[in-house]
Amino acid sequence: MSEATPQPTESASPRKADVRTLVEQVVKMLVDEPSEVFVDENRRGGTLEIDVEVAQKDIGKIIGKQGRTIRALRTLADAAAGKQNLRCSLELIEEDEEDGDYEDDDSSEEGDSGDQQP
């Protein structure tokens, strides 16, 4: 008599990867002020847009040297979204200290050094 090995029961609906939660947890591990991490998710068609906001002093930690950390986060988020047949756009939202306006990090990545000649 042989005993059958019990098979793990599968839930009725397998849990899909939550890209927003993944990004939020990774970002919270990287910053000094995890309580000031806010992640927002918007779906537009087949694209998942994720906006990440952190404390002003933690922005450098998220961007990393030469943008390597933010690039790695974007790659991770895009790979996780790809499992759901979605494209992913991850943006770091920066608050301008002077007037409280928000600014997208892509404006600083375009190599605008400020000393352009007319």
pTM: 0.68
Write out pLDDT tens, residues 66-93: 999 999 999 999 999 999 999 999 999 9
For the chain, report the end-to-end CA distance as a whole number of angstroms: 88
Question: Is 80 exceeded by the pLDDT of residue 13?
Answer: no
| Neighbour count for residue 15 (Cβ, 10 Å) | 6
Please tell us whether the domain made up of 19-99 is placed in CATH 3.30.300.20: yes
- Judge contact between 87 and 50, C-beta under 8 A: no
113 pLDDT tier (thresholds 50, 70, 90): very low
Least confident of 20-24, 32-36, 50-54, 96-100: 96-100
What gap in Å lies between CA 88 and CA 22, rounded to an integer? 13
